[in-house]
Amino acid sequence: MTAALGDRMRKLMRQHGINQSQLAARAGTTQPNISKYLAGEREPTSSTLANIATALHTTSEFLLGLPESNADTPFGTIKAYCARHGGDLSEAETRELIMTLLTAREQGGHHGI
């Protein structure tokens, strides 16, 4: 599992143009730890894995090579998209998305969009 984790992390780091130090800072860990995860020498704790996934705009399930929960449902699709691309949204776009969800919930899901 650790080699596959490192491969997935490396691919996403290249995709987002970030290095080990930048990932470490965003994930709240150290560059030597990131290096060990990439080399398959160490596995991150669940909280560190979640932070790495967030920093790489993905999910912990993806990094671990597990099936993503609810991937075949509209919710799963939206959740996976947000996890992977949420970092690309501006602060205003993020707030608008959150407000849209809250408004839809208050209206019982029938909001005419």
Q: Where are the domains of the chain?
A: 1-62, 72-106
CATH number of 1-62: 1.10.260.40
Helices 20-27 and 31-39: angle between axes, nearest 10 degrees? 110
For 29, other C-beta atoms within 10 Å of its C-beta total: 20
pLDDT digits (tens, 9 = 90+) for 31-52: 999 999 999 999 999 889 989 9
**Listed ranges 11-25, 46-60, 75-89; the one with the highest mean pLDDT:** 11-25
| Average pLDDT along the chain | 85
Identify which has the larger pLDDT, 102 or 81: 102
CA atoms of 85 and 78, how far apart (whole Å): 10
pTM: 0.63
